[in-house]
Amino acid sequence: MSDRIYNVLFLCTGNSARSILAEAAMNKLGAGRFRAFSAGSFPKGEVHPMTLELLSSLHYPVEGLRSKSWDEFTGPDAPQLDFIFTVCDNAAGETCPIWPGRPVSAHWGIDDPAAVEGEGQREAFKAALRYLSNRISLFLALPHESHDRMALKSKLREIGREEGATTEASIDAD
């Protein structure tokens, strides 16, 4: 097993719910082998309160989680990214910046829990975290060092079609 730490970026348009949930889940489940970040193409500027409430209630670290632009990951001081996952269909359809280092990318779209209002919102956030955690667990089980780029990309697309995938994710032919 390699001592290498892989950097992973989760993208969503607003960077207030799904991508933040994914960042927190990857940092917890990746146990030091992976360092996760999140960003948005049009960040809302604040994390959705239910995101922080759910993560806190499940004992995920929430310190430092913030809504930020993907521009923070394109400059010379940005971490070298190994993997990029879009978690909303809007972000998957946008023209992304040129990411230095040719990170492997895939679309893992799930429905926006922040779009659910009222009584069902907490359950929608719990489902989103469950879907993302399942994908992350499958991703973590891959032999990252031994897969060639094309095989790895294919596996990542398969993971994006797991339970909870949006229509765009399930037909992704990239």
pLDDT of res. 79 = 93
pLDDT per position as a tens digit, 21-44: 999 999 999 988 999 999 999 999
pLDDT per position as a tens digit, 76-100: 889 999 999 999 887 556 666 777 7
* Residues 111, 74, 80, 32, Cα dihedral to 10°: -40
Using the structure block, give the residue that is written with the tokens 């399942």. Answer: 134
pLDDT per position as a tens digit, 96-142: 677 778 899 999 999 999 999 999 999 999 999 999 999 999 999 99
pLDDT of res. 99 = 79
**pTM confidence score:** 0.91
